[in-house]
Amino acid sequence: MSLHEGNWPDARSRRRQGPVAPERSLRIKAFYGLLPYVSHLARQRRMRRFVQLMDIKPGTRVLDLGGSPRIWDNVEIPLDVTMLNLPGAIPSAELESIREPGTNIHSFHHIEGDACKVSQFADASFDLIFSNSVIEHVGPEDKQEEFAREVIRLGKSYWVQTPSPWFPIEAHSGLPFYWFYPERFRAWLLARSRKTLPAWWTDYIATTRILSHRRMAKLFPNARIRVEFLFGLPKSYVAHSGKNDTH
């Protein structure tokens, strides 16, 4: 989910069109059909590890950059969660559902803004900054750097996850080892896709900028970079910093 104004309109139009996968591609439809099951498994494991490593306590004040309420269903400790997204990122029906009394153990708040420039809050305003699969969508390297600086500035601790380029099936396109194709070949694939697939989908892939382990370590120099594995393969990188970290 992108949090930089330059990329968001395409993602926002994707929500308006309904299905996540383009209807005219059987391969992409099959990929996005299986993706929720794999993502659910990975998310459950990730959030269990998150609770353990970050020593999560009831009432912890969390700022979730670019997130949605659903991921917090995997945390059974009641938290105070503020979600920051660009306008239109979360459907109004989903926002209304979390505001209904007794529907969730967490206390949710939603604000609109740009995660690369969070002017609403002072330094260390939150116990924890959380981000799940967002930094690869905020824009070019300078935007990634702005995002990382805000993460470090805003929280007393943080947890930032991003997909690994080494997982055999790329998390956005469904193509095997997509980020290891020559750049010109990737450009050719996108140009070919634009002839048959919706513009929002090809733009979504084109504006994704995957991060390496080394890049994450550079952006978050005071963090531990943990590799998440799925089926024995590197699925994601997590940069986390907090009192339980050991380097």
Least confident window among 116-130, 133-147, 189-203, 215-229: 189-203
The CATH superfamily assigned to 8-241 is Vaccinia Virus protein VP39 (3.40.50.150)
Band of pLDDT at residue 2, cut at 50, 70 and 90: very low
At 221-246, the pLDDT tens digits run 999 999 999 889 999 999 999 855 54
Q: What percentage of the chain exceeds 90 in pLDDT?
A: 60
Whether residue 21 is predicted with pLDDT greater than 80 in this model: the reply is no
SS (H, E, C) the chain: CCCCCCCHHHHHHHHHHCCCCCCCCHHHHHHHHHHHHHHHHHHHHHHHHHHHHCCCCCCCEEEEECCCHHHHHHCCCCCEEEEEECCCCCCHHHHHHHHCCCCCCCEEEEEECECCECCCCCCCCECEEEEECCHHHCCCHHHHHHHHHHHHHHECCEEEEEECCCCCECCCCCCECHHHCCHHHHHHHHHHHCCCCCHHHHHHHHCCCCCCHHHHHHHCCCCEEEEEEECCEEEEEEEEECCCCCC
